[in-house]
Chain A
């Protein structure tokens, strides 16, 4: 019985294999049907719905969703200065976080890739990975406690007559930089690993100072990796609504979307298009700069 079943199974496998043999198009189709179906129908489809919903409106009197085309939401976003402030603030913090992380990450990544011993490298990789794996919320929580009045930061700054930033934009910038730092370190590390040491030696042998070698050889080669890391730091900051809520009273794009989702879905959708447009533009530039090789 079992042997028979095995024969049947094998022959089914064989018949299927035969069907695909020498038919590369069929093979590609079979391989892609699942993933592309899922992502195009499920994900791009959802984005399309979001796009459509951005042109709907809410009837002011009844609160009902009106599914006819209108530019009302975009008008609101453009007219009300509060939205301009919010978008400006979010993009500014995202840019600041990205720059901060690039500055903090580069020395660590460089040390890991080019100077640390084999053992030191292994330890550093784990040291950088560990916080990446630990919960996002836990990390925000620990900053919330550290930044609270009378918390660790106030306590540490008190002897020199200062007090911590408390909750606010500075706190959001600090916490976001903290959260996304490993996402910047790892692509830069991998990018630096790919630079052959012989290139650096050649530059040194030709008389370049370490600074010149860094500026003319290492930085240009590592730049796409920095851009790759910046995709994460930028996108993650742009879409976060939890950190702002936990360590500030300020509104960011994410908060406004979150607050409007149940009572004004069209406005929330229109606002959600802002980070999409920003990110798609960012990704297109990043791809031009060769960053996709480093993700």
Chain B
């Protein structure tokens, strides 16, 4: 009997959460979002598959819903629903920043906004450590799950490699990571972007506020980053060797690569960074953030500053303290030789004679799964370690060959990085297209970066190539020989 009573109490407990949150009026601020979108198959880039994704947002201003940017790209229809039930309203994206992983939606349906109220974003972490709640609509009811604060930590973003501060909390909620608001009392503390086990990764309120404020002021802002490599100075012999007096502190600059914006580098290998924006840097590479405590210095590239802003650094170089002004470069997916993100554009490709050319991107590699990317596609995956340069801004691969008598002998070639076509260096599909305009006599000569499979292919150019392409497109049900998104 005792067991039955306990079970009844347990069953009752979840109901208390929504009731409590309801008293605070969160049901008037949390919005359910349904996104229909095109998901591109990077193995067959001409194919679009539709998918529908549920997300959560929160009203933050007049007729504005804040949510995460993930899964908003390539949308075909966005609908929002207030109160977790009832009519849906069509919505549009007012603003999206995939680097910050945030977006603002709105709807023209006036009825939708009736009764909704904006939330207050809490920027200071002065909430109760065990008083966080994660909210979302489930079956018409506002689900509220307790979350326990774990730490603030600097991590890479979900959609980009930008390091920024995140709040981490432990919760029993399952499947979170679609923009669920994290609240404390009556204030918004953050949005959940990822859940791994019980650990939820949350964009904190301070970052939300910074992005929302910048957008409201129409400031053309993009996140910046530190474009150099450093290491902690825990090896005190290194500091002694560089004659740094006093207590061990600072971090060591180890590699400085040319900036893509053409500005000169103000840092050099062997510099010791002692301060950034007047924050002392300790030998682990952390600084004492007034809001979040000890954080990795990378956060100082996004803490209340943007790409193009100047950051003052105090450094130790050649036995002297120097002050240098570091202009934050703009983070862009194309900074990497293999772009991490491709958003709001179809999967690009070009087909000629059955040879399928594609840009090498992370979405392409992810199509194969992590295990295969690590092993069979090791070399392609390893290009992710490289930065884009002016000479090599991106890569094009021969991703596959659609079999036809025209390309007989080549059908099994795939995953080869293209170096040149007809003697012209190629690094994007436009350059492939251009190179194919200039065949070497009756042939196209395609040279690959050194690999263990094959270094060169030759195909016929001209009428037979065009006829083969048309035949292959028809046979394989492909509507167009190319999809090339113009470079920005």
Q: Do A and B bind each other?
A: no
